[in-house]
Amino acid sequence: MNLARSKRLIACLSLATLSATVAGAQDFGFAKERVTLLRKLPGLVHLGGATIKVRVTGHEGQSDLSRNLQTLLETEFMKDDPRLRVSESNPSAVVTCQIVSYSHPKPTITTRQGLTTGKTAPKGQNYMRVTGSLSVSFQARSASGQMLGSDNVTAKYDEEFDSSGNTASKGVLGTMNSTWKRITGGASSETLNPPTDDELQSRLLADAVRQIATHIVNTREPVEVFLAKKLGALDAGDKQAQAGLWQRALETFETAPPFSKLSEDAYRLYNIGVAYEALAYQADDEATAMKYLDEAAINYGKAIDAKPAEKYFLEPQKRIETAIEHYRKLEDQKAVPATIKNASAPGKSGTGAKAPAAANALTNAKVIAMVKSGVDDDSVAQTIRASKAVNFDLSAAGQQALTGGGVSAQIIAAMKARVARHPVAAQ
């Protein structure tokens, strides 16, 4: 009994020591505070009533999958809107889904050398890779048959596990976190081990349902994020954020003296981005939400620019870009009636009205010219935000040209946010 406890304690201490070493190298590691944001996104369609009908079809042999998707969609649609209910006989809107494809191949096993410990030669370690995908197309129509919205969504799962069942997709630190949770009992078996076929299907369904729901109804989704707390000057802001006082936390982060090393100040900039993101989800109107999302994207971009190797900076920027794109679609849909009206007005041409704006639009070349002339990043970003019309090329080739021209990640993030807020002039 005592020997077993001693071995367990030694294993814990060894793991903690190794974790601290890796965390120090990562500069974020365990020096972070976990907070939960309630991510709110408005629906992209107007249902026109309080009743809805959901129909799901799939290929032969997918009846159970179709039935599960329909049940989950009905539950998700009604979750955040107490007025909405399912009606088969007299719905005000009908959502029709088609399961395009569902894939869950057998896990693949590979063998790689493990870590070298002392003079012992590394041993081969087996790794299991579990993958799966679910693609669904959907349409939302009014009771009269008018198209309200349509899109295709794809949910994917791709994780690798070592022979002990610990996730290896997030590198050494991810494996150690899983091992620590096993020792301390900090997570359920379902969370730590590779998913079974049923668990994998459930995860893919949940992801697809979430994506579809953001188009059809207003959604509220809890999102766990991290705040950097390793550097002492950020502690006060972290405590305010934990208490939900995001405006005060933002002021604390922004007024804190920048750290002397840019790689350390990256974490202050990152925390500023988190605060702006939290305020965006709390905003009462779309314009304010877009303003805060724009600022969040810019500060996440600054953090990445200051320390590109920090992996925890990447996911928030992707999340913000998704939210900005959502609001852009919402704005595009609201602009459609006005565009049709202007185009049909006597003596007016929709394309002709936009020609002057397109001619004077801010372009990639103009941004590169500003950077090369010595204008600082903050001033360039402010110019981008204030520009009345832009015509950016943000394709992979366009962004490569921007980077080659000396344009920083902060400025590119501002360009993406500006395009997401208002469609490109040339379009």
Partners of 102 in beta bridges: 134
Domain covering 48-115+123-173+188-216: architecture: 3-Layer(aba) Sandwich (3.40)
The owner of tokens 């057998």 is 106
Residue 219 has pLDDT above 90, yes or no: no
The owner of tokens 């766990």 is 224
Please state, for a pLDDT cut of 90, what percent of the chain lies above it: 31
Distances (CA, A) of 291 to 126, 188, 223, 280: 48, 39, 20, 8
**What local confidence, expressed as pLDDT, does residue 292 receive?**
92
Please state, for a pLDDT cut of 70, what percent of the chain lies above it: 75
CA torsion sign for 302, 308, 310, 316 is positive
Mean pLDDT of 3-29: 43
Instruction: Pull the structure tokens for residue 312.
Output: 């925890």
Number of H helices, E strands in the chain: 15, 10
Residue 7 has pLDDT above 80, yes or no: no
Residue 26 has pLDDT above 50, yes or no: no
Q: Is 292 exposed, middle or buried (0-12, 13-18, 19+ CB in 10 A)?
A: buried
Q: Which residue has the higher pLDDT, 71 or 362?
A: 71
Distances (CA, A) of 32 to 24, 230, 267, 273, 305: 12, 7, 10, 15, 20
Mean pLDDT of 221-226: 90
Contact assessment for residue 198 and residue 190, using Cβ atoms and an 8 Å cutoff? no
- Measured in whole angstroms, the distance separating CA 184 from the mean position of its chain's CA atoms is 30
Using DSSP's 3-state secondary structure scheme, residue 399 falls into helix
Q: CATH 3.40.50.10610 region(s) of the chain?
A: 48-115+123-173+188-216
Residue 276 has pLDDT above 90, yes or no: yes
State the greatest distance between any 2 C-alpha atoms of the chain, in Å, as a whole number: 91
Residue 139 has pLDDT above 90, yes or no: yes
Q: Which residue has the higher pLDDT, 187 or 249?
A: 249
Partners of 111 in beta bridges: 126
Domain covering 222-421: architecture: Alpha Horseshoe (1.25)
Mean pLDDT of 262-276: 92
Backbone φ and ψ of 90, nearest 5°: -140, 65
**What local confidence, expressed as pLDDT, does residue 400 receive?**
86
Residue 387 has pLDDT above 70, yes or no: yes
**What local confidence, expressed as pLDDT, does residue 253 receive?**
93
Distances (CA, A) of 393 to 189, 316, 396, 400, 406: 47, 23, 9, 10, 16
425, amino acid identity: A
113, amino acid identity: Q
Q: Which residue has the higher pLDDT, 310 or 232?
A: 310
Q: CATH 1.25.40 region(s) of the chain?
A: 222-421
**What local confidence, expressed as pLDDT, does residue 212 receive?**
94
Distances (CA, A) of 219 to 15, 281, 301, 347: 40, 11, 26, 42
**Pair type for strands 51-57 and 390-391:** unpaired
What whole-number distance in Å separates Cα of residue 212 and Cα of residue 56? Answer: 12
Q: Which residue has the higher pLDDT, 338 or 59?
A: 59
**What local confidence, expressed as pLDDT, does residue 181 receive?**
47
Write the pLDDT tens digit of every residue in 142-179.
988 898 888 899 999 999 888 776 766 554 444 445 44
Angle at 286 between CA 93 and CA 237, to 5 degrees: 130
For residues 63, 213, 211 and 42, what is the CA-based torsion angle, rounded to 10 degrees?
170
Q: Which residue has the higher pLDDT, 47 or 21?
A: 47
What whole-number distance in Å separates Cα of residue 76 and Cα of residue 203? Answer: 14
Q: How confident is the model at residue 188 (pLDDT cuts 50, 70, 90)?
A: very low
Q: Which residue has the higher pLDDT, 155 or 17?
A: 155
Q: How confident is the model at residue 326 (pLDDT cuts 50, 70, 90)?
A: confident
Residue 185 has pLDDT above 70, yes or no: no
**What local confidence, expressed as pLDDT, does residue 6 receive?**
44
Q: What is the per-residue burial (b if ≥16 Cβ within 10 Å, else e) of 105-134? A: eebeeeeeeeeeeeeeeeeeeebbbbbbbb
Residue 402 has pLDDT above 50, yes or no: yes
**What local confidence, expressed as pLDDT, does residue 355 receive?**
43
Q: Which of 247, 292, 294, 286 is nearest to 410 (CA)?
A: 294
- The mean pLDDT value of the chain amounts to 79
Residue 1 has pLDDT above 50, yes or no: no
